[in-house]
Amino acid sequence: MAVDTAMKTQASTYASLGAVDLRDRLATGALSATELAEICIERIEAREPEVRAWAWFDADFVRAQAKQLDAYRATGRPIGPLHGLPVGLKDIIDTARIPTENGCALDAGRVPVADAFVVERLRQAGAVIMGKTVTTELAYLRPSATRNPHNLSHTPGGSSSGSAAAVADGMVPLALGTQTTGSVIRPASFCGVTGFKPSFGAIPRRGVLLQSQSLDTIGVFARDPDGAALLADALFGHDDADSATTLAPPPQLLETARSKPPFAPVFALVKPPGWEEADPQMQAALAELGDALGDQVFEIEFPKVFDHAVSQHRCINLAEMSRNYYRYWRDGQDSLGEGTLAALAEGNDILARDYLAALDWPRVLNAGLAEIFERCDAILCPAAPGPAPDGLGTTGNPIFNGLWTLCGTPAVTVPILTAENDLPMGVQLVAARGDDARLLRSARWLYDWAAQ
């Protein structure tokens, strides 16, 4: 009984720590990879029947990785930046000899022969591949079985539902997701964790289900901005197989995020297109936040041209989705959800003229944003309309996310607000394309400021 009590105390202690603190304990030997793996396994086994965050999980596979990492560390050789840290992977990210079923009945039993680029990077960095987290059907809007760990009757968001819920529930300290509209930022807001969608092309997408080549972006989930920076640092890079990526020096995300800003950051408070769809609680909370930040905030209004962003994003998304998912359209009339089929049908009818014109919009919108970013460190706006909606029949409204995915700008959810029903609400910070490191520093500043 004494051992059991000690284990529970240790598990409670480490569940309250962020990924960077866990990394430091793993590096010094104060915590072993096996001990941390067992803590996560115990949490998953206790909570998975209710939360349903995992599409594939094998405790023995996790233990084998942790044991191997502990043996490696015992040799005294240098360890990787993610040594011993468990990471969940959205189930559209290929893993060699491990099922990757894309949340789709048509891909049931699919087992890739090679790892995705990001999985290769995780293994090289010493991470423990914890398993595959649940996604919505083909990473679109059909809700999954995952529930919000804060209240099981509420949605966790989508399409990276399992990743957000697993981090929020303490099953893993880190997880990967993807965003084509709002699939990182929105579930992070609903589940009360940090979600980071980097600049478009920052993380190579080889081996990840392709929905929209012009929009798809790999993102990360963590307890706090430092953890998001730690994980993203290991994933940024160039890959010849992904033309969206470019050769660039290492971004030093974590080092920058943890550095002290030369001046307190300045935020531009924005009411983005669709503001009328925000919950009154979110509107009031942002107003109060702006008042509390005082001179560090100024309010701006977007030009009317930004009102077209949602429709142009949808045009690109559905046109490319109808092309990339043609196999599913052809073979899945009897198995795909109505919403997925309707989206593919709409994409089939989009004219080439309209699609090609929509591809010009990111350049137009980023030109408008450039003037704003000259005056601030980051734009401050809602991460979602409000707290997670009640019921499991929707993944929530992504109205405040698609603009930033269309523009390719980095965005991060900072979990600092709470609704009247005690569900979390996230603030979204956005920076200029390529300014990921400074964005994470601003996010960490706001996260620490709110905790004071």
Which residues participate in catalysis according to the annotation?
90, 159, 183
Q: Give the DSSP per-residue string, 58-70.
A: -HHHHHHHHHHHH
What sign has the CA pseudo-torsion 80, 84, 90, 95?
positive
Distance CA 301, CA 440 (A): 24
What sign has the CA pseudo-torsion 85, 86, 92, 95?
positive
CB-based burial of residue 262 (10 Å sphere; 0-12 exposed, 13-18 middle, 19+ buried)? exposed
Supply 362's token pair: 């990111």
The SS3 call for residue 286 is: helix
Supply 367's token pair: 């030109």
Checking DSSP bridges between strand 424-430 and strand 411-418, what pairing results, if any? antiparallel
DSSP state of 269: E
Taking the CA of residue 448 as centre, how many other CA atoms within 13 Å lie in the half-sphere pointing to its CB? 15
Q: Are 133 and 91 in contact (CB under 8 A)?
A: yes
Distance CA 189, CA 164 (A): 9
Distance CA 168, CA 156 (A): 10
3-state secondary structure 70-130: HHHHHCCCCCCCCCCCEEEEECCECECCECCCCCCHHHCCCCCCCCCHHHHHHHHCCCEEE
Scanning the structure block, which residue is given the tokens 């090289």?
124
Distance CA 37, CA 163 (A): 17
User: Could you give the angle at which helices 361-373 and 309-324 cross, rounded to 10 degrees?
Assistant: 140
Residue 97 falls in which region: left (phi positive, over 0), alpha (psi -120 to 50) or beta: left
**Long-range contacts made by residues 285-291, C-beta under 8 angstroms, separation at least 24?**
285/417, 285/425, 286/380, 286/381, 286/382, 286/427, 289/380, 289/416, 289/417, 289/427, 290/380
DSSP state of 384: S
Q: How many CB atoms lie within 10 A of CB 291?
A: 9
Supply 118's token pair: 């990001």
